[in-house]
Structure 1
């Protein structure tokens, strides 16, 4: 029996593959990239567009790590439905789903498969209704976003950390490395079900992030808030116009909220006894 990891060659899946291999687990890397090679893992070319292919991959698996790719929401909804159908058919031993920053029921829906439902809620509700052992990892923002070319260049060349959140706005940031650590534990902790929120608690501001960069680089770094649509426009060729617009709209809406913090009760700190890396620890771990 093996662990099936979606996006195994990407930013989210690759750390999960590495963490499981380090723990001595057998891993099958699921990727849409034909001919991909992943050290220490069997590679299977599968994407989210075929329920039959997904079911074939999941059948007999010890665990499945799922996250939805960056894509227009209509496509993500189709992917979510396909994953749920495949899980119901194949019935792997355990599923761990990362919302990749999406929130369960963020549109006020119940998570049921209705036109108003978002893909994250549809997948989470489908897992809950599947009868398969599962848990949901719910991060807020990824620290790796700060390594985007239009962000890290400003830090290195100008001493300015630019990001699309207001000054003073506090959020629960986490690293892909944290998600990998938590996913590895959650595959074994079958007693943990439902949603586990992952990120800094108390939440931190852009100014706090800039301070961590300052300490790491040994020179001043200031925080500067930018307009979300201006921030994500240069990334449209990489993620697609519609996806870039959707993400910018999400950030715009979040900026009207008091913060974007996890709650203590369903945090990884409370539910698993695991504390995510601080921004300073993360910078040291990636050896920036």
Structure 2
């Protein structure tokens, strides 16, 4: 029996593969290209658009780590339905789903989001599962349009208002939580991963100041202007959806996890502080 890891060559899946392989676990990297080489894992080509592919991959698996790719929401909904259908048919021993920053909702207006569809499908499947629900990724602060401002102007620009507090986490923190949850079958439901108490853009700038030994200030930017440079890579529709999400989040009092459902409380896993994360980043 093996652990199936989606997006095994990407930002979220690769750290999970590395952690499981380091622990001596059998790992299968699920990728779109069968010729891909992944250290510590066998490779299996799987397409989210094929329920049959997913079912074959999941059958007999010890665990499955799932996260939906960046794509138009219509495609993500199809991927979510396919994944749920495959899980119901194949019945792997355990499934851990990372929402990649999306929030699980049962509200009528948002329950048809891909994230909520997949989470609801897991809840109804009868398969042992948990859902990792992060907020924002620290790795977003390494985007070219962000890091250039830090390097050249000592200004950290991001698309959240000044003073706005959010629970940031690293992809490495998601991997820490995922590797625990793949084995901790006693924990189910949503597990939130991120800084608690939540931190502001100014706190992030202070971490950069400490890391670089000079003063870095924070500057809020409009979400659509901020994400526009990513459109050639991510697509216009997906980029616009992300910008809309940031604009909506910015109208809230904060974007914090709760202590009750935190990885700190449920798993005993404490996320890296921005300074700890930056210590391992080549700036």
Query: For residues 96 and 246 of structure 1, what CA distance do their matches in structure 2 show?
Result: 25
Partner of 1:135: 130
The residue correspondences of 1:262-281 to structure 2 (distance < 5 A) are: 262-281=257-276
The residue correspondences of 1:92-241 to structure 2 (distance < 5 A) are: 92-105=92-105, 108-109=107-108, 117-241=112-236
Aligned partner of residue 238 in structure 1, secondary structure: helix
Report if aligned partners of 2:52, 2:86 keep a CA contact under 8 Å in 1. Answer: yes
Query: For residues 151 and 110 of structure 1, what CA distance do their matches in structure 2 show?
Result: 33
What's the CA shift string for 1:80-110, capped at 9, x where partnerless? 000000000000000000000000117x239
Query: For residues 225 and 122 of structure 1, what CA distance do their matches in structure 2 show?
Result: 32
RMSD: 1.2
Cα deviation for residue 287 of structure 1 reads 4.5
Cα deviation for residue 285 of structure 1 reads 2.6
Aligned partner of residue 188 in structure 1, secondary structure: coil
Partner of 1:41: 41
The residue correspondences of 1:53-72 to structure 2 (distance < 5 A) are: 53-72=53-72
Report if aligned partners of 2:3, 2:63 keep a CA contact under 8 Å in 1. Answer: yes
Aligned partner of residue 275 in structure 1, secondary structure: coil
Query: For residues 197 and 239 of structure 1, what CA distance do their matches in structure 2 show?
Result: 26
What's the CA shift string for 1:222-270, capped at 9, x where partnerless? 1000000000100001111000000000001111111000011001111
Cα deviation for residue 34 of structure 1 reads 4.1
Aligned partner of residue 5 in structure 1, secondary structure: strand
Structure 1 gap segments, 5+ residues each: none
Partner of 1:79: 79
Change (3 A) 1:225 1:110: closer
Query: For residues 25 and 219 of structure 1, what CA distance do their matches in structure 2 show?
Result: 43
Report if aligned partners of 2:34, 2:43 keep a CA contact under 8 Å in 1. Answer: no
Report if aligned partners of 2:160, 2:246 keep a CA contact under 8 Å in 1. Answer: yes
Q: TM-score, normalised by structure 2?
A: 0.98
